[in-house]
Structure 1
Amino acid sequence: MKNSKLSRIVAAASALTLTLTLGACGTSGPQDTTASTGSPTFWALTGANESIIKPSIESWNEEHSDAPIKLDFFANDAYKTKVRTAIGAGEGPTLIHGWGGGVLKSYVDEGHVADLTEFLEENPEVKERYIPAVLNNGVIDGTTYALPYTGMQPVVLYYNKEVFDQIGAEPPQTWDELMELVPKFNEAGIAPFSLGGQSKWPNLMWFSYLVDRVGGPEVFQAILDGEEEAWSDPAVIEALSMIQDLVEADGFVNGFSSVAADGGADAALMYTGKAAMLLQGGWVYQTMKNDAPDFVSSGNLGYSTFPAVEGGEGDPENIVGNPSNFLSVSETATEEQKAAALEYLKDGVYSEEYTKNLVESGAIPPTVGAEDLLAESEDKDFLTQLYGMATGAPNFQLSWDQALSPEEGSAMLANLDRIFLGEITPEEFAETMNGTLGK
């Protein structure tokens, strides 16, 4: 790292530390009292984004040998548990991977992550590179604490065109059409839908889309706002009933509760023809490009929006998913670690090489003016369609387990798992979840 540039960043980090110290006075939450030492650290997720993050850090470290970033990868589910425990103990990474929303707010409330206001004021080009609606997911109470660093990831309906041709069907545009396809695929010996139920969070994609299609985004907003009995909204009950109807009709692959999404087993069932469809995030396209390139290049992969619900109040163009993954800077990091982290956020993330690699992997950068770059990609059809979905959606809802507080999100996933397994009724789900409101 050039000495003059490092000095400016260290000075900014020193000012940032002073601001955070003063700002912490009078807060009631527990404060970290220790900071890690040595090289700055970065914990990222295994899977689709490894091919972008790993070479980015390797290249960065070659040019910044005096402050190299130590990178470690973790599977999704393992990471969520490990990072919260580590951060709570003041031993988390310098660069913290997250999704924004309620989990980020919990870090902010507890004083674990740095206010990036001064950094963005000194480097306005960083803020200006992002689509505002995506950037806003790293803002808590008007202050930015996290910045996007991966592609936009709306949840889409993937399908295997070959098995659809086998039974002479078209992808469903409405919920009624979806339910009509279930017995047809079952009769052909093909599971209608793959589902990584063991991981639990894929179940949420069905729930959040159905609540939105039935009742509109206002239903979940009431839950976020902690309104009394918000989980008992009729749209929630109807969505849960529709899920159980689909399960009872054998809509999902046998043994779905033992299929893990982290290793891509749910996607494999779809691209090998054992299941016809898969509701999953945009990142799965990257996974399939890596694990099943012939399937992707053959033209047998189809993708569509989630079906409309006839008579529902939600706009069929609304989407759910992750506007991006985000990076925060640990408050407990040393000034030198913060300096390196801020420098990487400024010049490493979405550099020309970084953005090019992101697009080549099959991901959509959440940056302004990306249309030309997407149009040049071999995946232009997929990327352009999802870019249009993300930028044109009337509402792009962050995944509920991240939008909610960690406590409420965990309770929701656990009880939603019981809905899919038929262990509780929609009304029992609502009653239990109403007890978590505001926690």
Structure 2
Amino acid sequence: MSVSRRQLLMGAVASAPLFALTACGSGGGRDGAGGGGGGLSAWALTGGPEKVFRSTFARWNKDNPDHKFKVQYFANDAYKQKIRTSVGSGNGPTLIYSWAGGTLKDYVASKDVVDITDKIPTLTKRALPAVLDVGKVDGKVYAVPINNSQPVLFYYNKKLFKQAGVEVPKTFGDLLAAVKTFKSKGILPIALAGQSQWPELMWIEYLVDRMGGPEPFKKAFEQKKGAWSDPAFKKAFGKLKELIDAGAFGDKFGSVVADNNADAALVYTDKAAMLLQGSWVYTTFTNDAAKWFKAGNLGWFDFPSIEGGTGDKSNVYGNPSNYFSVSSKASKEDQDRAAKFLDKYNLSDSACQELIDMGLVPAVQNIEGKLAASKDKDFLQYTYDQTKNAKSFQLSWDQALSDKQAQTILTKLSAFFLGKASADDFISAMNGTIK
């Protein structure tokens, strides 16, 4: 089965295992598992490979028969609607699932979750540092990674590269030259699902980072006045316009949809040479284009550096992981038990092996041996190294910021790609969202 980003964010592939907690039922809204001192609890998203976390929580429950976790399952939208209200009223679960980012920041400001920095010594040593950092606020750990990392990377059609005599781009200049070469040969240089809007975000995220490092967006995330006026944003838009004007994405990208994997299809049908997408797209190539893939036509590479830019080439964008926090409304005893679960049972060796068997890369250290034994070892090792070696792994902007800010970003950026808005329009609009 091919996997979309929406499925990952909804829990259908990567997120759901975290909530597949116990054998206490599988319907939405059952069991009354709240976190206000009434025993250990967690809420789950429906769908996906639930066996990973079913087995993880089953081990806990077997070892701790007097302190079992209870779980409720919700569809993604229902969960998002219920969790904020429930957490704010003190009726949320003991373990609070989130994508970190702005939501976690709000939880910390409202004192809805507790600092667990000193309660997770094992996981602190085990988790990948760049991924663990996403769960920190003001240097303290309030959320921990609980599944796989999902970095954004370039996929490329080796056959088309060979035919055109193009080498893998190392710099933005190389990328622009490759675009012009492919265009001159009647090949779409880069597939882009513009109708979905969020794939366009990957471009400006990486360009800003390669131009100015993680600091410009960090200021925006911290809601500092005028943060979007940092020169890195304007310069990044300039680079993006160079690509658009060079015909990098063709003139039909606005009708291409990501959720049906139409962008990846352009690559494996030999119509497009490159695609900037998340690691979740890999299974689209292996499953939907098995013959093409087995012929060795798929390659991948990091987003290129920008000449004159100050961002580190190891920096990565995407979804570092999904996260669990411990509710401040749970009893002190249950807070300690929940922290123990996160430290000792979460992302255990057996759980990591199950994730790897599913073609997913757990956000932990020292799993090279397990990856080497996988049938997808080359790609899994690449994405693992990409995450492990990242000096910064930034959560996608639309997940890091509030829903309102995310929608403004997507709308204004889409208008820029279509030539209906300028960089200044985008910057002004985003500065206007900071109160």
Shift of 1:282: 2.1
Partner of 2:51: 55
Partner of 1:103: 103
**Is 1:353 matched up with 2:350?**
yes
**Is 1:181 matched up with 2:174?**
no
Question: SS where residue 50 of structure 2 aligns?
Answer: helix
- Of 145-154 and 125-134, more deviation after overlay is shown by 125-134
Shift of 1:314: 2.0
Work out which of the residue numbers 268, 272, 276 in structure 1 matches 2:273. 276
Partner of 2:113: 114
**Is 1:390 matched up with 2:387?**
yes
Partner of 2:85: 89
Separation in structure 2 between the aligned mates of residue 60 and residue 395 of structure 1, nearest angstrom: 29
Separation in structure 2 between the aligned mates of residue 109 and residue 407 of structure 1, nearest angstrom: 19
Amino acid in structure 2 at the alignment position of 1:98 = S
Q: Give me the identity figure in percent.
A: 41
Partner of 1:136: 133
Write out per-residue CA displacement over residues 222-276 of structure 1, whole angstroms, 9 at most, x where no aligned residue: 3234444331222211211222332233211543233332343322322232221
- Of 232-241 and 94-103, more deviation after overlay is shown by 94-103
Partner of 2:25: none
Question: SS where residue 310 of structure 1 aligns?
Answer: coil
Separation in structure 1 between the aligned mates of residue 152 and residue 265 of structure 2, nearest angstrom: 17
- Of 127-136 and 167-176, more deviation after overlay is shown by 127-136
Work out which of the residue numbers 231, 248, 251 in structure 2 matches 1:251. 248
- Of 194-203 and 83-92, more deviation after overlay is shown by 83-92
Over 3 Å counting, the alpha-carbon distance change for 1:221 and 1:413 in structure 2 is same
Write out per-residue CA displacement over residues 66-112 of structure 1, whole angstroms, 9 at most, x where no aligned residue: 866454565xxxx5xx544322332898465432222221233345x
Over 3 Å counting, the alpha-carbon distance change for 1:430 and 1:56 in structure 2 is same
Structure 1 alignment gaps of length 5 or more: 3-12, 19-34
- In the alignment, is the contact (CA less than 8 A) between 2:211 and 2:306 conserved in 1? yes
Amino acid in structure 1 at the alignment position of 2:107 = Y
Shift of 1:373: 1.7
Shift of 1:287: 4.3
Shift of 1:157: 0.8
- In the alignment, is the contact (CA less than 8 A) between 2:40 and 2:338 conserved in 1? no
Q: How many residues align?
A: 395
Task: Give the superposed CA RMSD.
Answer: 3.7
Write out per-residue CA displacement over residues 129-181 of structure 1, whole angstroms, 9 at most, x where no aligned residue: 31233222112234433221222222211111122223222222222222222
- In the alignment, is the contact (CA less than 8 A) between 1:40 and 1:340 conserved in 2? no
Separation in structure 2 between the aligned mates of residue 142 and residue 209 of structure 1, nearest angstrom: 24
Over 3 Å counting, the alpha-carbon distance change for 1:347 and 1:218 in structure 2 is closer
Partner of 2:261: 264
Shift of 1:209: 0.9
**Is 1:160 matched up with 2:157?**
yes
- In the alignment, is the contact (CA less than 8 A) between 2:130 and 2:387 conserved in 1? no
Shift of 1:424: 0.8
- For residues 4-403 of structure 1, the aligned pairs below 5 Å read 17=36, 40-43=42-45, 50=48, 53-59=49-55, 69-71=71-73, 74=76, 79=77, 82-90=78-86, 94=93, 96-110=96-110, 113-115=112-114, 117=116, 121=119, 124-328=121-325, 345=342, 349-403=346-400
Instruction: Name the TM-score, length of structure 1 as normaliser.
Output: 0.76
Write out per-residue CA displacement over residues 386-438 of structure 1, whole angstroms, 9 at most, x where no aligned residue: 3223222333323222333443333222211211121111112111211223x
Shift of 1:193: 1.3
Structure 2 alignment gaps of length 5 or more: 1-20, 23-32, 63-67
